[in-house]
Amino acid sequence: MLYVFLSICCSVIVSIMLKLAKRYQIDVFQAITWNYSMAILLTWLFFKPGVPPLQSAPLGIYVAVGFLLPVIFMVMAVSVRVAGIVRTDVAQRLSLFIPLLASFLLFGDKLNLLKIVGLVIGFAAILLSIPWQKKTANRKVVSNAWIYLLIVFFGIGIIDILFKQVAAFTAVPYTSSLFVIYILSFVIALIILGIRIFTKQTKFSWPHIGFGWLLGVANFGNILFYLKAHKALSGTPSTVFSAMNIGVIALGTLVGLVVFNERLSILNKIGVGLAVVAIVVITLSNK
């Protein structure tokens, strides 16, 4: 569970940086693009990965993840703008249902009573932790906003499943797989950025690039530890799926309370408490 905890911390750092990006008028699209260049560099420096032979590599999975990572990241940014932060957060957290369902139907994970109890508590924690009553003043939800929410819901769920498959593919070192995925993500994001620059929606700026590189450090840690968690807990993928989502909510809420002085309702506080209980119960269910 150490790898799960480290992945949760990196994930929350990414969220904090994205929140600060809006405050300091950072172009999130450009930051997302350059974050992958830093992830590529860190992967090469720390692990010296080799390029896997084409005949033994799951190229279809690589392409799918490489495409989805930057695209879903950018769709989330649009979703926040047209549907609001609260609705986007609901879609993101409820995507937990997709990989959990896959872990039992596709990956041979087994349920026991304690795990069921932990998952039920976890779902309750998710629902209670979301700020349902938060107002979106001066914001109109556009008629097609549900499309972006649906893409976020399915996109994040599918990415979780694909990363599980990458971690389970032992014929290729996972660091090599990660290296290829980062390269594909950077190329795809760079193409999208090039289109935005050509259409004069944005322009190159060092603050955006520098922020993106810092974002890449946290993003690198998030995905690296997430893959390590799946390898360490390969027999129980539902543990990783659930603990990650529940843990991000719990830690993210606490950081929002302490760092950003966000207010918590009574239900939110109960949700954070239940999230901690759920992680403990799910951990015990594997022993």
pLDDT in tens, the chain (287 residues): 788 888 888 888 887 887 787 778 888 888 989 999 999 999 888 878 777 666 677 888 999 999 999 999 888 877 777 776 656 766 776 777 777 777 777 767 777 788 788 778 877 877 776 665 555 444 455 667 778 888 988 999 899 888 878 877 777 887 888 888 989 999 999 998 888 888 888 787 888 899 999 999 998 888 778 778 877 777 766 677 677 777 777 777 777 777 777 676 788 778 778 877 877 787 677 66
Return d(Cα 192, Cα 157) in angstroms, integer: 23
**Residue in the block written with tokens 């929350």:** 12
Return d(Cα 256, Cα 193) in angstroms, integer: 30
Confidence at residue 188, expressed as pLDDT on a 0 to 100 scale: 93
Q: What is the DSSP letter of 56?
A: T
Task: Write the single-letter amino acid at 92.
Answer: Q
Confidence at residue 129, expressed as pLDDT on a 0 to 100 scale: 66
Confidence at residue 34, expressed as pLDDT on a 0 to 100 scale: 93
Confidence at residue 38, expressed as pLDDT on a 0 to 100 scale: 94
C-beta of residue 251 within 8 angstroms of C-beta of residue 8: yes
Nearest to 4 by CA among 277, 235, 232, 256: 232
Confidence at residue 138, expressed as pLDDT on a 0 to 100 scale: 44
Instruction: List the chain domain ranges.
Output: 2-133+141-284
C-beta of residue 12 within 8 angstroms of C-beta of residue 255: yes
Nearest to 248 by CA among 77, 13, 26, 71: 13
Structure tokens at 18: 């994205």
DSSP letter for each residue of 1-27: -HHHHHHHHHHHHHHHHHHHHHHTT--
Confidence at residue 211, expressed as pLDDT on a 0 to 100 scale: 92
Return d(Cα 287, Cα 282) in angstroms, integer: 10
